[in-house]
Amino acid sequence: MAINYDDRIPNNVNLSGDKRLQRALETWQPAFLDWWQDVGPEGFQKDDVYLRTAISTAPGGWAHFGHVKMPDYRWGIFLEDAVPDRRIPGGDHAGEPVWQEVPGEYRNTLRRIIVTQADTEPASVEQQRWLGKTAPSMYDMRNLFQVNVEEGRHLWAMVYLLHAYFGKDGRDEADDLLARRSGDADKPRILDAFNQPCPDWLTFFCFTMFTDRDGKYQLGALAESGFDPLARTCGFMLTEEAHHLSVGELGVERVLRRSAQLTKLDPNGDARAQGGIDLPTVQKWISYWFSYSLDLFGSELSSNAADFFGAGLKGRWNEAKDFTEHRALDQYYRLPVVKNGSVVEDEVPLRNAMNEVLRQSYIADCQRVVKRWNAALEQEGTDFRVSLPSSRFFRRQGIYAGHDFNREGDLIGSEAWQRQQDEWLPSAADRAYVASLMHAVTEPGQMAHWIAPPRKGINGQDVAFEYVRHA
Ligand SMILES: [Fe+2]
Ligand SMILES: [Fe+2]
């Protein structure tokens, strides 16, 4: 369905056909803009940024590119087209017609699921608000702002659902989404990874690679929901999300390439002596953000996950397309667990392992990227290879939390952990070193010393294009 840009709130849901809903969202809109000015990108609100804006939700060719001031970005409500005669993909109701209204018995659960997803969207904008000031290039600065405005758009997507389907409770939740703050001691964001600071660009690239990719899998599970408006909302968010993931993947790849080049250049093979980030340090950032993002999937064993799947509120990744059996009853999942001080395999009911099933889809996706990174390292002529640690390593949630594992996933004592954690994860000195390299490069086409240039620009433009024009 075409997007209507004549309304104050751009949309493809015929918003003007529901005056009460339209008025409620038009009341929320100035509060959103205040939030954006308060904690959105710091210092660039008057600049013209080369941004893409959605013009249709049809696959391919949906974006318009042009210079826009961020506060003038047309945030709106865009749902994927409805699939005629769509059926509930998974769970106890598999095969029944999808719901266009919230089923009463799932109302609270569904609201909780939507709020938890919604909360991550403004949180990431808050986490990244200072990064514009140290962008390694104009190209990168533009990508950061594109990600930021689209996370704002994702908040709109979720707030629409809350307003349209959850009455007063939903409107209160929408207000709370603008009241919580990432990292705030009194009113923090809901999930831990979204309260972590994002102080440098290596963190930003790892965050968009690993944490936004968790978002991809959460949205994918919700795109399989029996609640059709949620499924259609998430379907379109996924197409926007793909750009965020490529910013992360290609960003880390460019750091790796530059690190390899500087290592070769130095007589002692020391990239830091050449003013770059050394490869082992990049590996530590990868390990940290991969592990942090694994926590976001929830516990390996979860009765909530079983309930969400059984109710048809969430599916597995590509539930409708990739599976033939959709009830997941009387089936078991093999899972390594800690018993009497060692790791042994256990068999658990499949529905209770649905978080882990989704996490494994995510890990396989991350592995594909790691392969591409290593192909880049090979091209650069280094023997160094990056890798993902075991999914038991450095976990703070789920059945492995509270135990110490090495990168291979073997149990080690807490003393061994204390001794070696700085070899595996960013130390205070590593963080200070990486932070010391963060200086803005504002000449179009120029790159900070520690990162390789991208292979191509945005939307067919040159890398040296003026992606951000200062006011
Ligand atoms: Fe998002
Ligand atoms: Fe994202």
Confirm if 64 and 154 have CB atoms less than 8 A apart: no
Based on C-alpha coordinates, what's the Rg of the chain? 23
Counting as low any pLDDT under 70, the low residues of the chain are: 1, 60-61
Q: How far is the CA of 338 from the centre of ligand 2 (A)?
A: 34
Report how far ligand 2's centroid is from the alpha carbon of 288 (Å): 19
Determine, yes or no, domain membership for 455. yes
Distance 204 CA to ligand 1 centre (A): 14
32-36-42 Cα angle (round to 5): 175
Report if residue 290 sits inside a domain.
yes
**Which ligand sits closest to the CA of 237?**
1
Q: How many other C-beta atoms lie within 10 A of the C-beta of residue 253?
A: 22
Ligand number, closest to the Cα atom of 154 = 1
Question: How many domains are there within the chain?
Answer: 1
Q: What is the pLDDT of residues 453-463, one digit of tens each?
A: 999 999 999 99
Q: Which amino acid is at 178?
A: L
Q: Which residues contact 146 (CB under 8 A, 6 or more apart)?
A: 49, 51, 52, 243, 247
User: Ligand 2 centre from 206 Cα, in Å?
Assistant: 12
135 CA to centre of ligand 2 in angstroms: 18
Q: Which ligand is nearest to the CA of 144?
A: 2
The rounded Å distance from CA 438 to ligand 1 centre is 25
| Cα Dmax for the chain | 70
Residue 175 lies in a domain: no
Which pLDDT belongs to residue 1? 63
Scan for tokens 């594992």, then name that residue.
405
Spatial separation of the C-alpha atoms in residues 460 and 467, rounded to whole Å: 12
Predicted confidence (pLDDT) per residue in 177-198, tens digit = 999 999 999 999 999 889 999 9
CB 238 within 8 A of CB 57: no
Is 39 inside any structural domain?
no
CB 85 within 8 A of CB 156: no
Q: Which among 19, 18, 178, 154 has a CA at the least distance from the CA of 73?
A: 154
Does 167 reside within a domain? no
- Of 128, 182, 171, 133, give the one whose Cα is nearest residue 151: 128
Distance 195 CA to ligand 1 centre (A): 15
Please report whether residue 180 resides in a domain.
no
Ligand 1 center–CA 215 separation, angstroms: 7
Give residue 18 CA to ligand 2 midpoint distance, Å. Answer: 29
Q: What is the pTM of this model?
A: 0.97
Q: Cα of 213 to ligand 2 centre, how many Å?
A: 8
Beta strand 48-54 with 468-469 is antiparallel
Q: How far apart are the CA of 237 and the centre of ligand 2, in A?
A: 9
Q: Which structural domain range is residue 433 located in?
A: 80-146+201-469
Q: Tally the C-alpha atoms within 13 A of residue 69's C-alpha that lie toward its C-beta.
A: 12
CA of 422 to the centre of ligand 1 (A): 31
Burial class (CB in 10 A: 0-12, 13-18, 19+), 23: exposed
DSSP state of 227: B
H-run or E-run covering 368: helix 354-379
How many helical (H) and strand (E) elements, i.e. helices and strands, does the chain have?
A: 13, 5
Classify residue 207: in a domain, yes or no: yes
What CATH number does the domain containing 130 carry?
1.10.620.20
* Residue 161 belongs to a domain: no
274 CA to centre of ligand 2 in angstroms = 33
Alpha carbon distances (Å) from 50 to 57, 142, 350: 20, 7, 46
The candidate with the shortest Cα–Cα distance to 238, out of 33, 51, 62, is 62
User: For residue 151, how far is its CA from the centre of ligand 1 (angstroms)?
Assistant: 4
What is the distance between the alpha carbons of residues 112 and 307, in angstroms, rounded to a whole number?
Answer: 13
Eight-state DSSP code of residue 466:
-
Q: How far is the CA of 150 from the centre of ligand 1 (A)?
A: 7
Task: Measure 152 CA to ligand 1 centroid, in angstroms.
Answer: 8
